[in-house]
Amino acid sequence: MALHHKGSVCVTGAGGFVASWVINLLLSKGYLVHGTVRQPEDEKNAHLFKLERAEEKLRLFRTDLLDYDSMLSAIEGCDGVFHVASPVPSTTVPNPEVEVVETAVKGTLNVAKACVEAKVKRLVFVSSAAAVGMNPKWSAGQALDETCWSDKDYCRTIKHWYSLSKTEAESEAMEFGEKNGLDVVAVCPSLVLGPILQTNVNASSLILLKLFKGGNDESETTLENTERRIVDVRDAAEAVVMAFEKTEAQGRYICTSHPIKTSHLVDKLRIIYPHPNYPNNFFDVEKDIRLSSEKLQRLGWRFRALDETLMDSLKSYQDAELLDNVIHAL
Ligand SMILES: NC(=O)c1ccc[n+]([C@@H]2O[C@H](COP(=O)([O-])OP(=O)(O)OC[C@H]3O[C@@H](n4cnc5c(N)ncnc54)[C@H](OP(=O)(O)O)[C@@H]3O)[C@@H](O)[C@H]2O)c1
């Protein structure tokens, strides 16, 4: 079926878990997509050209977040920009203040500046619930909304570099937008799970994959019974595109669907994919906060059932033969 051409948009960090689904959705809606990647020829980006309509409507640009001119060349000619790229390490890195925080913040400001120069209509910044909930002021059971920000000094003190990177990048993007007349809308997803389109395993999928797989000693281990706040990657992509398409969208949007204790999540996984090595022992530690996506739902956002997310995640890990290979390689 011929689709009405919706204009050109740019998605940064195109090959990643979330960005791949954002691109998939944008292509299905008829947008021409400029995707930014560090190495277009890298095998880890090959999945993008298997997406429907990618051959005709996706163009990859070789860029580096820290190289302004390369970002501008990808953004020129676009009505909208989805800034998704950001370091999301799954292990500790040697110099997180530079590799994670500085890269995220400088990269975001480069993207925002390029948006102004290229006269982009709206920048959608993919932030994180990590920019909302990391604050010692929040009390147990407190419901957090979009007025709540993580405390940068606290993130620094407890060395939670990823949260610091997202909080600082989001707040700088918002401030830059206000000063320079750029319309910036932020989406703050919680833990994003669901089927993977890419071949390498990103940090959030690894959390679920490790639970599915179990380890030889996992059943003996006592794990923190943390509350996971899950959102499906396809629903997160819908939220991100909605934040661009809905003219009335403004400010930030928390994007989360299912709060669930790790022990309850494991109970569900036992049914979906039975094996004897799931962890059995949990202890409660944290003061749980509550996150609300009411503002996003008022914009028209809906989300799918958690079981669907878990089943589809499992299927995608099986298709990619990850359940047999990955954990042993860690
Ligand atoms: N997954 C979640 O649970 C979750 C939750 C909330 C928010 N988010 C946000 O969603 C976005 C995407 O995350 P994801 O889960 O899709 O992770 P991902 O698969 O690791 O994607 C991250 C992307 O950022 C790019 N990137 C990282 N460092 C870069 C740098 N220095 N220069 C250029 N590109 C760089 C990566 O490119 P390379 O492949 O070249 O490294 C990759 O394309 C991030 O902004 C993250 O903070 C994710």
pLDDT at res. 4: 66
The one-letter amino acid at 200 = N
Q: In sequence order, what DSSP letters do the residues of 119-136 get, joined into one string?
A: T-SEEEEE--GGGTS--T
User: Is 13 touching ligand 1 by the criterion CB < 6 Å?
Assistant: yes
pLDDT at res. 330: 39
User: Is 205 touching ligand 1 by the criterion CB < 6 Å?
Assistant: no
Cα 21 to Cα 198: distance, rounded to the nearest angstrom: 10
Cα 96 to Cα 86: distance, rounded to the nearest angstrom: 13
144 Cα to the center of ligand 1, angstroms = 24
pLDDT at res. 327: 43
Residue to substitute in 39, 48, 67, 86 for testing ligand 1 pocket (most ligand atoms within 8 angstroms of CB): 86
Write out the catalytic residue numbers: 166
User: Is 83 touching ligand 1 by the criterion CB < 6 Å?
Assistant: no
Q: Which atom of ligand 1 is nearest to the CA of 37?
A: 40
User: Is 87 touching ligand 1 by the criterion CB < 6 Å?
Assistant: yes
Are 213 and 327 a contacting pair, CB within 8 Å? yes
Q: Which atom of ligand 1 is nearest to the CA of 45?
A: 39
Domain 8-193+230-258+290-303 of CATH type 1.20.1630.10: no
Task: Give mean pLDDT in consecutive 10-residue pieces for the chain, a chain of 330 residues.
Answer: 79 98 98 97 96 97 98 98 96 92 98 98 98 93 94 97 98 98 98 96 95 68 88 98 98 97 94 88 82 97 98 95 59
pTM of the predicted model as reported, rounded to 2 decimal places: 0.96
293 SS3 class: coil
pLDDT at res. 284: 85
282 SS3 class: strand
